[in-house]
Structure 1
Amino acid sequence: MEASSSSCPSQLPPLLSSAEAEQRNWLDLPRDVVSAIFVKVGTIEVLRNARRVCSLWRNVSKDPFIWRTIDMHQLGDLTDSDDILDDMCRLAIDHSSGQLTDITIEEFATDSLLKYIADSTSQLRRLRLIRCYSVTDEGLCAIAEKLPQLEELDISISNLSKVPLETIGRSCPHLRTLKFNIEGYKSPHIECNEDAFAIAGTMPALCHLQLFGNKLTNDGLLAILDGCPNLISLDLRQCFNVSLIGNLGRRCAEQIKDLRHPYDSTADYPFEAEDDYGSFDEDYPSGISDIDILSDYEYDFYEFSGGSPSEFSDYDYYNDY
């Protein structure tokens, strides 16, 4: 009976209220667990809210582990000015204590902020700049030599020219992935191989290349294939001056494992794109048509001695541009 009475609920310690239990659970979490949660929560949320909850969380928010990756894009409904976002980004960089390896910035990056990043870390491996029109050729060139470990560079929608590409190529020997995208359009008709030649001449170790909307021609593409023999993936969507037919089409099929054609679907592309035309995927699921792999001589012979007009309607349409 005594044993029974000793286990009576009335003898147990009083239970915490739900609010007290929730507070105690959060505050009792190990520091490394809180740090891992902050990483998942993301840069903006930690800077704006989490670090203000209590002194413990504010202290944890200064852990350099949290700031090895800084992601400040897709800011949604934030109404902060560029100056405030710049200050927040610099604070995150300071907290990284030289351990920053990966940073993404949308819209508010400047030459000054890039210099601050480059001066704060020599470990940067991934730099992503989205619609950062205030970043100049001179600004990117100035920090290139300070990024010796850079492996991935993503510059999507900018005013930059071939000049920083050449400088990055010469200064960053570990660069394996390059995205240099602009908004694709078919008119006015412009041909320019400067970007392609800069890439081909300075980035022989490149494995992944995206040139969405670029104005390169077949000559530029051929230079890239010659100058970047390690390419595994190549995205040429909305590169309307490129025609993957004949020998060039066959070489692309043989050399590149993951090839996106100029007229392939842009459904998975995160930025604006012209989409008023059919996709190669619809007609040629393998990505290369029978016409593409004909030799140049065979193509001419086939077109003028037996190929029906309907079989070449897509080809004629592409060459109108």
Structure 2
Amino acid sequence: RHPNKRHRTAGSVFGAPSEADYPSAQLNYPSSAASSTRALPVYTVPSLVTLCARVFTAKFVQLHNNQTIWKVTSQYLQVLPGELKGRIFGMLTAAWPTYLSHEIIVTYFLNGSSVTLSSNLPGVNRNTISSIKRFGASLRELRLTGFEKIPDEAFASIIPSALQLRVLVLSGCSRVSGKTVLAASKCTQLRVANFNYTSVTPTSLAVLLVACSELEVLKLAKVSNWTDTTFSKFLSGVDDTFRHVNLRNLKLRQTAVSDHSMMTFTTICPNLRRLDISFTGIRKPSLWVDQAPHLEKLCLTSTAISSGELCSTIRNLSKLKTLAIGALGVGTSPNTTINNTSSMTLNDHDLILVSDLLAEHGRLESLSLVSNTKLSLTRRESSALCHMISRVGRKCKHLNLSSIPSLRSSDLAGLMPTFEDDEPSALQTLMLNNTGVDDEVAPFISCCPELATLELAGTKITNDGLFPIIHACPKLVNLDLTSCRGIKVVDRRRFFEVSGILFLDIFTKGSARSGSRPGRDTHTFSNVHSS
């Protein structure tokens, strides 16, 4: 009897290691949603510590699986300095997250001055979190993110053992509430408190602010119970004369905070430098922004602010370095969406006024206009977007113009120098996702020698437009080509590699042709791709 097909076929055993287990394997699979990246040449020799850490990370699984070698290696790992141990743990987390079990983490990586754990590590559980208290005396920075199922009591129980904390990040730990915040208020040297996406209460936050006078950063994004009504409970926990002069960074993104609450908050915290109130009920920031004259960052994305109100708000903010004004007019009402152009308030005329104000201040480094769909609806020879880019955008380091459907390649002409003595564009990050740009944008983007990140997802760009950009921007390392139909799916994640091969092809064929017929080389990028 002949063996059946199932017996004859030597298939892989279910659960056995395969190439897909390795971090680099995913780069070889075709995908329409990915960024192409490259590493720039390194002209300095890495330190011996860096080289050793890289080798240890690369060989970690092999070392750990060999009991004889691991018995010796683990002893060295345990006596490493805390700072170096944290660095290695970060590298292992990125390279081998599924291999870091609860036992490995607790045994080797919790006894430093800094602990960083996230829900992306399958080996971390409630027992791992509870084990932190054993090393609390030496702990200065604690970052626990994304643990949605671990209760408030578990986090509150570890903080009393770490009273020397300077940094506490509990972002995404949705069940964190009053008990944890009250425990954190005992850490009087606390400088950073991140409670984004938690359930902290305004009453407990009042206790924290009063007790932690050195606090500089407070993040409360999407804290659902933060409303004008609950804010009154916060006020009842502080004295009328209370001022927190050290708070510099405040995030209230995606909360129900209103102008009334902000008037009080800016009075209590007069030295704010960075403020994020995106996706809130803010309508009249000009009523209270004068109480925060030192603002360097202001995020107003998706707020129901009129263009006139925007001009009044930024007119006196001469120190502004970062401004996010995406989807202005949408607000938090369920009846308004970014797909509804009529709800948008920023039009071409108002953008010119805003651009001129920002140009007068002369300090802006980052600007986001994402999803302002009313811009450039009326085409003119010199568009408002081109004016903005020429006066402000080209001098920024970060510019986000994504999801402006009427944006065209010609609008990017503002990236080019106006006069011979103008400095080249300072842009390091340019986002043009889901816009109408095509290959004609190439000469304009090529005027950005400092460009490191370029996002062109969902645009009409093709190989012909990308090659000159890559050639002109030597620092470009991140290129997002998601859903670019002009680029082959298999090339989108490895476009730098593809461009290198094609450049070499051009050089080789061009040299061969010039040797036989000087001056006759008319080979183009399109010719190479089609060949």
Indicate how the Cα distance of structure 1 residues 58 and 157 shifts in structure 2: closer, same or farther if over 3 A, else same.
closer
| CA apart distance, 1:19 | 5.1
Q: Which residue of 1 aligns with 2:357?
A: 251
Residue 405 of structure 2 corresponds to residue 278 of structure 1? yes
Q: Specify the code of the residue in structure 1 equivalent to 2:75.
A: R
State which drifts further: 66-75 or 154-163: 66-75
Counterpart secondary structure, 2:412: coil
2:192 aligns with 102
Alpha-carbon shift at residue 35 of structure 1 (Å): 7.6
Q: Which residue of 2 aligns with 1:138?
A: 232
Does residue 269 of structure 2 align to residue 172 of structure 1?
yes
1:65 paired with 2:140, answer: yes
Give the letter aligned to residue 263 of structure 1.
Answer: S
1:171-250 matches, within 5 Å, as 171-182=268-279, 193-194=283-284, 196-239=285-328, 240-243=344-347, 244-250=350-356
Whether the 8 Å contact between 1:127 and 1:152 is mirrored in structure 2 is yes
Task: Compute the displacement of 1:31 (Å).
Answer: 5.8
Task: Establish whether residue 152 from structure 1 lines up as the match of residue 241 from structure 2.
Answer: no
The structure 1 residue matched to 2:116, chosen from 41, 63, 69, is 41
Confirm or deny: 8 A CA contact 2:266 2:291 kept in the other structure.
yes
CA distance in 1, matches of 2:293, 2:372: 26
Query: Alpha-carbon deviation of 1:212?
Result: 0.7
The 3-state SS of whatever aligns with 2:232 is helix
Distance 2:249 2:77 in 1: 37
The CA deviation at 1:158 is 0.8
CA distance in 1, matches of 2:370, 2:193: 29
Q: Which runs of 5+ in 2 are unaligned?
A: 1-66, 88-111, 142-164, 329-343, 374-401, 416-531
Return the match for 2:72 from 21, 30, 36: 21
Structure 1 segments of 4+ aligned residues over 6 angstroms from their partners: 43-47
Q: Which residue of 2 aligns with 1:306?
A: none
Check conservation: 1:47, 1:88, Cα contact below 8 A.
no
Verify the 8 A CA contact 2:244 2:269 in the aligned structure 1.
Answer: yes
**Residue 236 of structure 1: how far off its partner (Å):** 0.7
Q: For residue 138 of structure 1, what is the amino acid of its counterpart?
A: S
Match of 1:314 in 2: none
Query: Counterparts of 1:125 and 1:264 in 2: how far apart (Å)?
Result: 32
Evaluate the alpha carbon distance shift between residue 86 and residue 151 of structure 1 in structure 2; reply closer, same or farther with a 3 A threshold. same
Any residues of structure 2 matched to 1:80-91 within 5 Å, and which? 82=175, 86-88=178-180, 90-91=182-183
Q: TM-score, normalised by structure 1?
A: 0.62
| Range with greater deviation from structure 2 (32-41 or 243-252) | 32-41
Is the counterpart of residue 74 in structure 1 residue 166 in structure 2?
A: no
Sequence identity, in percent? Answer: 16
The 8 Å contact of residues 281 and 287 in structure 1, kept in 2 or not, is answered as no
- Per mean C-alpha deviation after superposition, the further-off stretch among 60-69 and 103-112 is 60-69
Q: Deviations over 1:127-146 (max 9, x none)?
A: 11111021233245455935
Q: Answer whether contact 1:35 1:63 (CA < 8 A) is retained.
A: no
Q: 1:235 to 1:32 in 2, by over 3 A?
A: closer
TM-aligned CA distance change 1:93 to 1:227, over 3 Å: same
| Secondary structure, counterpart of 1:61 in structure 2 | helix
Q: 1:40 to 1:277 in 2, by over 3 A?
A: same
The offset of 1:122, in angstroms, is 0.6
Match of 1:121 in 2: 212
Q: CA deviation at 1:182?
A: 0.6
The answer to whether the 8 Å contact 2:346/2:372 transfers is no
**Cα root mean square deviation, aligned:** 3.8
Distance 2:233 2:412 in 1: 43
Equivalent residues of 2:184, 2:208 under 8 A apart: no
2:345 maps to amino acid:
N
| Residues 279 and 127 of structure 1, relative CA distance in 2, 3 Å threshold | farther
Contact 2:311–2:353 (8 Å) recurs in 1: no
TM-score calculated relative to the size of structure 2: 0.40
Q: Is the 8 A contact 1:125 1:152 kept in 2?
A: yes
